[in-house]
Structure 1
Amino acid sequence: MAFLTLYLLYVIIVLFLIIYLKLVFKCKRAVKISDSVKRHIEKNHKNSDQYLVQPPGPLPLPLIGNLALLGKYDVPFEGFSALSKIYGDVYSLTLGTIRCVVVNNLETIKEVLNQNGIFFGGRPDFERFHRIFGGDRNNSLALCDWSNLQQKRRNLARKHCSPRNNTDYFEKLNEVGCTEVEKCIEHMKKMVQDTAGEIHMKPMIMETCANLFLGYMCSTRFEYDDIDFKNMVRSFDEIFWEINQGYAVDFLPWLSPFYKKHMQTLDSWAKVIRKFILNRVIGNRDEKIRMQNENDDDFTDALLRSLAKEENVTKNTIIFMLEDFLGGHSAIGNLVYLSLGYIAKYPQIGKRIQEEIHAMSQNGKRKITLHDAEDMPFTIATLFEILRHTSSPIVPHVATENSLINGYGIFKDTIVFINNYELNMSEKYWEHPKEFNPERFLEYVPVHKLKKDNALDSSMVLRVKKNIPQFLPFSIGKRTCIGQNLVKSYSFLMLINILQNFDVSCENTENIKMYKACLAVPPETYSLKFTARR
């Protein structure tokens, strides 16, 4: 028996040693790049050797790789920044047994996402991502690998999700937004009237944002007391929180048996959403589409109509695509609730936004619409400052073939982390980056106009800065967030209407917990006090 135990121990040690030596060998091996990659990079890089060394980095431990190094920090992204001080702006990590590269500076991030973006169009193959999208993450626009289908889906969605000013789509965006937010405020007034203290208002905010997207994309809305609707919104919020978390099982698949219940929970959330969209949103639209003009299509009609035009697009693909875009409301809801939390912590910020609202609305005589956003720079700057503090690193990319970053060789299937946290919180890019200060996004610019006597008046007007290259909350390149205009527009409308009607506060601001580099807050989170304004 003792001999057998020693033998098994010997076998385990040998296996660990083999795995470790393989990892070390992978870290040291040069990367051979293809002729097509070589020709592409010769245009932009001096180093065009066919064999390139990998980026430097710490040696991994067996099984866990370098995961223990990141475990020392509150969030992994702080670890990314700290390790860059040792290994440089581009370095290698092995997380579990998965080869990764971390990119920390602006110039190299642009190289990865813009110049060499064609080689980094993949996404990580995490089990959680598959579970959320019906067993295949390629059903998602954000989590799929780049493909011709992905390009077609983005082209189809662009005019709806990125409407230009003075277009019919923008006018619909504005009309739906103003109408739904007005309903939200009336509902909030009733809630505040019935409750003297603090209220957990997040579910209400999330439901309004869901109706904003449903109204704009699907020409429908649901009452706030609709149980199925509430369950669907809650499931989206749970998934949004989930996507913004990291789990050991992502890099240590052998832990999967211990996450069985968690994966089943992901499945259940996804099924709730899918059933609601199929039964309550899509319903029997086919006949409606046949009877109406294509110019009258909303986003959902346009998706369904595309079924007849694309051979490789199925109805299942359409449902997942619609689900993915409707899920964008979770980002807005979380951003708005975070904004209210920041305003409760920094009441002077809320007062200044209310002064801007007072001036723009002419003391409440007119409604504020999306057309007014450009003339309310402090409000926009506040939203940007919140995004700077909360935007997590951009969804990881994956190398689709052997390539290079900053002259280093990158193997195919390497996960590339774009450390947006470093761009947002480094003193290299910002003055006093840890301070919450919307002013950093503002500047005074001259506005030349003629007076009544035809003399030229060069007045200075406060505006949001046009070009801040290190501020990339929606990423750049071909995988830029296609719904960013919806996020900006509806978060603006929600925030100004709430602050126009309520003062927001909290008796103990220590209860307002913000998560570093995380746009999400848990579905069950802090409560706030809303006091009706006269």
Structure 2
Amino acid sequence: MLGLGSLFILFLLSLLTVQFVRLQWRSKRLPPGPTPLPIIGSLWQLKLLQFNRDVLMEVAKSYGDIYTLWIGWNPVIILNGFQAVKEGLTTNPEAVAGRPLTPIFRAMANNKGLLLATGRTWKNQRRFTLVTLKSLGLGKTSLEYKIQEEVHHLIDAFRNTRGKPTNPSFALTLAVSNVTCAVVFGHRFSSDNETFHQLLEAMECIFKFGGSLLHYFYDVFPWLMHRIPGRQKKMLLSFDLLRSVIRKEISNHQAAGMPEEPQDFIDFYLAQLEKSKDEPRPAYDEDNMIQCISDLFLGGTETSSTTLCWSLLYMVLYPDIQAKVQKEMDAVLAPGRMICYEDRKILPYTNAVIHEVQRFSNIIAIGMPRLCAKNFTLGQFHLQKGMVIFPNMASALYDPNEWKTPRQFSPGHFLDKDGNFTCPEAFIPFSMGHRVCLGDHLARTELFLFFANLLKTFTFHMAEGTKDVNTEPVVGGTLQPQYFEICAIPR
């Protein structure tokens, strides 16, 4: 007669067998992929614990450019390569405009704001933010002037190093974030501002957590991760700190009273709150305002500053390319003149270099997940409402079918045979479809103005004594370069 222990083991094995059969039945209706196991899904393949761009590209060689991975009990559809990403995000863009409300996304944003919200909330916040940014000068010279002001401050910061070795990360982050602060808060921070340093520390903690193994563990075991100490707790506290700073900025605006003409994002949002306060189901509230500002600050700072950091690293690693950029500028620009965004049209090589920096650094490790908002067909596969899709953006920017030498840094990817700038369709660092980055024009302007003006003013060298430079990225919410020091020599 079997004991209680043996009965329990038999029951457990029977339960796991039933779950295994159910998983196999469900997986037959989906794109192919590694065989899922109960509880752990596809993670029995240890390399998938990394869940990074190169691993996903490697798996595609076995299962095709549209395949399925299982995170625990949940299937995730992976899009690999430019054509699969393009088809998945643009053929029926409304169908993939959702965002999965995973446990970690709920803990971070609770379906508020822009980046991690979905459905009606996301549509309203995005529509309002786009209109407001245009009112604040997005795509106009008025906003370009704010960027150029930060260019002046950034040049001064490098000039003050007097050619001594320095890590450029802080100066670049300060410059880029102050553009966002001017748009959102209506003012900039000085380099010694204590609040600004707290914001940077909070932002660093948030992005280090993103893309980490703990991030995915939180989604598989939320009840456990919510209760035990660890980096996930520190990350959520960092979000709280960011929100507290934003609340203080909002309070300062409210204390000052509404101006006749709104001057920044907070002014516009407070006016919208007043306008919609009597609606039965108002689309706008203070929580959404705080989360929108948080998303603008995080998205507007981290991506552009990290790309600029890579750009300076590449210039010291490829001094011939740096010299060619400077030669082009010297040939067509008057000495001492500030470069404007319109100058990109007469600086095709410089423009090609900054685009190649974006492509090659490829700082978004994979891409944000999408949620199927309705049933739709992708290629030969029928995907159901509620399924999660991961577009591997890196696979498009490294696609050998789209780029001549995808794993080499080559500005020629963006030049035609006559040396004119050209932008291939596969250049999608800002994603595609309805969730394309709403700040892409601002980011393009920032990257060109900061990069071009820095190289017009300085020649950058690697710090003396530096031997081997590690170009493997530091993995997180974005892929950052390893710590390095350079010297900015005035021209």
* Residues 215/477 of structure 1: CA separation in 2 closer, same or farther (3 Å cut): same
Give the aligned residue type for 2:399. S
Deviation at 1:224, TM superposition (A): 0.6
Deviation at 1:68, TM superposition (A): 3.5
**Counterpart in the other structure of 1:366:** 337
Q: Is the 8 A contact 2:113 2:295 kept in 1?
A: yes
Deviation at 1:437, TM superposition (A): 0.3
Deviation string 1:457-514 (CA, Å, 9 cap, x unpaired) is: xxxxx43214x22221111211111001111111222222322333323343633433
Q: Distance in 2 between matches of 1:519 and 1:508?
A: 28
Secondary structure class of the residue paired with 2:369: strand
Which of 420, 425, 428 is equivalent to 1:472?
428
Note if 1:124 corresponds to 2:100: yes
Q: Distance in 1 between matches of 2:212 and 2:341?
A: 32
What pairs with 1:195-206 in structure 2 (closer than 5 Å)? 196=164, 198-206=165-173
**Counterpart in the other structure of 2:180:** 213
Note if 1:482 corresponds to 2:438: yes
* Residues 232/241 of structure 1: CA separation in 2 closer, same or farther (3 Å cut): same
What pairs with 1:55-454 in structure 2 (closer than 5 Å)? 55-69=31-45, 71=47, 76-133=52-109, 136=110, 138-147=111-120, 149-161=121-133, 170-190=140-160, 192-193=161-162, 196=164, 198-245=165-212, 247-253=215-221, 256=225, 260-279=229-248, 281-286=249-254, 290-293=258-261, 296-310=262-276, 311-327=282-298, 328-362=300-334, 364-389=335-360, 390=362, 391-443=364-416
**Counterpart in the other structure of 1:454:** none
Q: Is the 8 A contact 2:374 2:386 kept in 1?
A: yes
* Residues 278/509 of structure 1: CA separation in 2 closer, same or farther (3 Å cut): farther
Q: How many residues align?
A: 478
Q: Distance in 2 between matches of 1:241 and 1:340?
A: 22
Q: Distance in 2 between matches of 1:252 and 1:209?
A: 35
Q: Distance in 2 between matches of 1:484 and 1:519?
A: 18
Secondary structure class of the residue paired with 1:290: coil
Secondary structure class of the residue paired with 1:482: coil
Q: Is the 8 A contact 1:162 1:486 kept in 2?
A: no
Q: Distance in 2 between matches of 1:178 and 1:184?
A: 10
Deviation at 1:141, TM superposition (A): 0.9
Q: Is the 8 A contact 2:79 2:391 kept in 1?
A: yes
Give the aligned residue type for 1:333. S
- Higher mean alpha-carbon deviation, 138-147 vs 487-496, is at 138-147
* Residues 480/248 of structure 1: CA separation in 2 closer, same or farther (3 Å cut): closer
Q: Distance in 2 between matches of 1:314 and 1:73?
A: 39
Deviation at 1:142, TM superposition (A): 1.8
Q: Is the 8 A contact 1:399 1:413 kept in 2?
A: yes
Q: Distance in 1 between matches of 2:181 and 2:258?
A: 21
In structure 1, runs of 5+ residues without a counterpart are 29-52, 446-461
Note if 1:513 corresponds to 2:476: no
* Residues 413/141 of structure 1: CA separation in 2 closer, same or farther (3 Å cut): same
Q: Is the 8 A contact 1:341 1:512 kept in 2?
A: no
Give the aligned residue type for 1:422. S
Q: Is the 8 A contact 1:206 1:330 kept in 2?
A: yes
Deviation at 1:245, TM superposition (A): 4.0
Deviation string 1:33-90 (CA, Å, 9 cap, x unpaired) is: xxxxxxxxxxxxxxxxxxxx43222321222111243616975322322332332222
Secondary structure class of the residue paired with 2:331: helix
Secondary structure class of the residue paired with 2:452: helix
* Residues 19/436 of structure 1: CA separation in 2 closer, same or farther (3 Å cut): same
* Residues 316/402 of structure 1: CA separation in 2 closer, same or farther (3 Å cut): same
* Residues 4/85 of structure 1: CA separation in 2 closer, same or farther (3 Å cut): same
Q: Distance in 1 between matches of 2:124 and 2:257?
A: 21
Q: Is the 8 A contact 2:60 2:66 kept in 1?
A: yes
Q: Is the 8 A contact 2:138 2:442 kept in 1?
A: no
Q: Distance in 2 between matches of 1:361 and 1:509?
A: 35
Q: Is the 8 A contact 1:101 1:417 kept in 2?
A: yes
Deviation at 1:159, TM superposition (A): 4.3
* Residues 514/367 of structure 1: CA separation in 2 closer, same or farther (3 Å cut): same
**Counterpart in the other structure of 1:463:** 420
Q: Is the 8 A contact 2:158 2:488 kept in 1?
A: no
Deviation string 1:172-193 (CA, Å, 9 cap, x unpaired) is: 2111111122112212322x23
Q: Distance in 2 between matches of 1:85 and 1:272?
A: 43
Give the aligned residue type for 1:306. Q
Q: Distance in 2 between matches of 1:516 and 1:117?
A: 32
**Identity %, equivalent residues:** 22
Note if 1:499 corresponds to 2:432: no
Whose radius of gyration is greater, 1 or 2? 1
Deviation string 1:247-275 (CA, Å, 9 cap, x unpaired) is: 44155226526864222111221122112
Give the aligned residue type for 2:19. I
Give the aligned residue type for 2:275. K
TM-score (norm 2): 0.88
* Residues 353/131 of structure 1: CA separation in 2 closer, same or farther (3 Å cut): farther
Deviation string 1:218-267 (CA, Å, 9 cap, x unpaired) is: 32011110111111123223323433445441552265268642221112
Q: Distance in 2 between matches of 1:426 and 1:290?
A: 50
* Residues 226/518 of structure 1: CA separation in 2 closer, same or farther (3 Å cut): closer
**Counterpart in the other structure of 2:279:** none
RMSD of Structure 2 on Structure 1 (CA):
2.8
In structure 2, runs of 5+ residues without a counterpart are 277-281
Q: Distance in 2 between matches of 1:476 and 1:430?
A: 18
Q: Is the 8 A contact 1:106 1:470 kept in 2?
A: yes
* Residues 73/16 of structure 1: CA separation in 2 closer, same or farther (3 Å cut): closer
Deviation string 1:300-331 (CA, Å, 9 cap, x unpaired) is: 22122111233331122112112211221111
Q: Distance in 1 between matches of 2:54 and 2:178?
A: 36
Which of 471, 483, 490 is equivalent to 1:526?
483
**Counterpart in the other structure of 1:450:** none
Q: Is the 8 A contact 1:128 1:263 kept in 2?
A: no
Q: Distance in 1 between matches of 2:112 and 2:229?
A: 22
Q: Is the 8 A contact 1:335 1:520 kept in 2?
A: no
Q: Distance in 1 between matches of 2:138 and 2:202?
A: 32
